[in-house]
Structure 1
Amino acid sequence: MENTASRAKRFLIPTQPEGLSVDFVNTRYWRGTDTPTETFATIDDLLAWCRDCAGIPASMIESFRATHLPDEKTALASAIALREVLYRLYLSNAEGVEPDKKDLAVLREYLNSVAPRSELSRSGGRYEWGIDGQHVDLTCLLSPVLWSAVDLLGGTRLGKLKRCANDQCKWLFVDDSKNGSRRWCSMSSCGNRAKAHRHYHSKPG
């Protein structure tokens, strides 16, 4: 039987949808412009995203801080590198081209050290994954993103992955519309901008 000490070294992470990895790659805004907006300017930005969007418990983040924060630049660079690998892999699929083998190799390296999804529990009306909390590193914090990436790359919704038609935006999204004709990451932003642009240029001079 598992003792109290060993139970204390485990963390519970709420299950996340496969779209989480798409949200992760979209943390860089306006990729098609000369000055894209970077969400992860500091390690604190990244850790806040892990907490608020990926469901990483605060106690797990504090455990990471206690042992890895002195190496924050390396950790941040590694997270951004993973994000860009996923973006390129997803973009390749959205554009119907073969992914770069180097990107696949990098993703495999991350997956080799990702926390396994082997302990599923249910609490408070939701399902959670229990993971070993003895050594909380960056890959451990990004486990929900990597799980999501595996689910998306190996699932039926991969064929619905698209790039926003706004060449300045270049966000990715999964098109779950009824007829599969969605073109914009958001009609309220890029879609309306395109409509306004067309309307402006259609007016008589």
Structure 2
Amino acid sequence: MPTTLRFRQGSGRLCLDFARTLRLRGTPGAVEELPDAEALAAWVRQCGPCPAGPGDVAPGLVRAAQELREAVHRLIAAARTGTAPDARTRALVNEAAAHPVPVPALAASGGLAWHAGDPVRATLSLVARDALDLVTSPAVGRVRDCAGTACGALFLDTSRPGTRRWCSMGTCGNRAKKAALRRRAAG
């Protein structure tokens, strides 16, 4: 039985959750969470609206997804500093956003079902469109770097005062608070 992959969510935006698939970004221990078709299909199943399997990942799409992820990260970084992204970054995100997105339909059960001829590309299109929406909105001013010393994740700070420090209080925030408690107890 194959292992079930679990990806981090909760950043506040789909594009930021996608950018998190390079875990520990900017550290020597960075981990690629989308190394193959199985992992990419698992991310689409977990984070996107369409069901997808490894057979839905066209040749070359894993590399294209990784390139899109890095372009999304560069696009957001540029927007946060008020600089224009490079032409390649813009082209990669714009090209991904141009693909058809998943289409909703009311299922016989009364629930919503999502369909796409190419569920992986359709979900990547949603990621790209979300990134474009984020960087052209005031919300980009609320994108934060996690204060976790080895995290590297971005998140959207939706707290009222805008002072959230960690991507997740349950992981990075909890680790930081336990470390502070240990330092106080030792000192």
Q: Work out whether the TM-score is over 0.5.
A: yes
Matches of 1:140 and 1:43 in 2, distance apart?
Answer: 15
Matches of 1:154 and 1:204 in 2, distance apart?
Answer: 47
TM-score w.r.t. the length of structure 2 is 0.75
TM-score w.r.t. the length of structure 1 is 0.69
User: 1:179 Cα deviation (Å)?
Assistant: 1.3
CA contact (8 A) 1:88 1:99 kept: no
* Higher RCO structure, 1 or 2 (CA under 8 Å, sep 6+): 1
Query: Among the aligned pairs, what percent are the same residue?
Result: 32
1:188 matched residue in structure 2 = 170
CA contact (8 A) 2:96 2:124 kept: no
Q: How does 1:93-172 map to 2 (within 5 A)?
A: 93-94=79-80, 96-101=81-86, 102-112=88-98, 114-115=99-100, 121-123=105-107, 124-126=110-112, 131=116, 133=117, 136=118, 139-172=121-154
User: 1:98 Cα deviation (Å)?
Assistant: 1.5
Matches of 2:123 and 2:157 in 1, distance apart?
Answer: 28
- Indicate yes or no: 2:70 matched with 1:84: yes
CA contact (8 A) 1:162 1:175 kept: yes
- What secondary structure is seen at the aligned counterpart in 1 of 2:155? strand
CA contact (8 A) 2:72 2:128 kept: no
Structure showing greater Rg: 1
- What secondary structure is seen at the aligned counterpart in 2 of 1:82? helix
Q: How does 1:13-32 map to 2 (within 5 A)?
A: 19-32=13-26
User: 1:90 Cα deviation (Å)?
Assistant: 1.9
- What secondary structure is seen at the aligned counterpart in 2 of 1:162? strand
Matches of 1:204 and 1:21 in 2, distance apart?
Answer: 41
Name which of 42, 45, 52 aligns with 2:46.
52
CA root-mean-square deviation: 2.9
CA contact (8 A) 2:50 2:119 kept: no
- CA deviation map 1:103-138 (0-9, x unaligned): 2232223234x1157x66545344x6665x3xx385
Aligned residue pairs: how many?
Answer: 173
Name which of 13, 27, 35 aligns with 1:33.
27
Gaps of 5+ in 1: 1-17
Matches of 2:62 and 2:139 in 1, distance apart?
Answer: 29
Matches of 1:36 and 1:158 in 2, distance apart?
Answer: 24
User: 1:177 Cα deviation (Å)?
Assistant: 1.0
Name which of 37, 47, 51 aligns with 1:43.
37
CA contact (8 A) 1:79 1:138 kept: no
- CA deviation map 1:152-176 (0-9, x unaligned): 2334432221111224211011111
Matches of 1:168 and 1:179 in 2, distance apart?
Answer: 25
